Amino acid sequence: AQKVTQAQTEISVVEKEDVTLDCVYETRDTTYYLFWYKQPPSGELVFLIRRNSFDEQNEISGRYSWNFQKSTSSFNFTITASQVVDSAVYFCALSTGTASKLTFGTGTRLQVTL
């Protein structure tokens, strides 16, 4: 069975601070995919990134970066120089095989204030 744990329920930071959202996953499959989605206050789910289990390279996209470590079964997400517009709930998710269901974590609510 798959499981995704986001231990941080809520994080509050002041604008321009860096913040890291933690994600720990469990699966027995050797092929799997990890995702991050953003859910802003408007409610839609926005895809941010996908990583497959064979690619442990870290990725950077603007102020966003992701650290994938198979040794600790973690896929952490860092926002550098946070902005108020980053305020949202962020979900980490896992799927195994090819196109299959996403198992979501419980989400981390990020509040960025001025």
Partner 1 sequence: DAGVIQSPRHEVTEMGQEVTLRCKPISGHDYLFWYRQTMMRGLELLIYFNNNVPIDDSGMPEDRFSAKMPNASFSTLKIQPSEPRDSAVYFCASTASGKGYEQYFGPGTRLTVT
- Per DSSP, 65 falls in state E
For residue 87, give both structure tokens: 């305020």
Length in residues, the chain: 114
Strand partners, 76: 67
For residue 57, what are the CA distances in angstroms to 19, 33, 47? 20, 14, 19
Is residue 98 involved in binding partner 1 (CB under 8 A)?
Answer: yes
Site string for partner 1, 39-78 (x = CB under 8 A): ----xxxxx--x----------------------------
104: nearest Cα among 33, 28, 14, 20:
33
Is residue 24 involved in binding partner 1 (CB under 8 A)?
Answer: no
Is residue 95 involved in binding partner 1 (CB under 8 A)?
Answer: yes
Is residue 104 involved in binding partner 1 (CB under 8 A)?
Answer: yes
Which stretch, 10-18, 22-30, 69-77, 94-102, contacts partner 1 (CB under 8 A)?
Answer: 94-102
User: Which residues form the interface with partner 1 (CB under 8 A)?
Assistant: 33, 35, 37, 43-47, 50, 91, 95, 98-102, 104-107
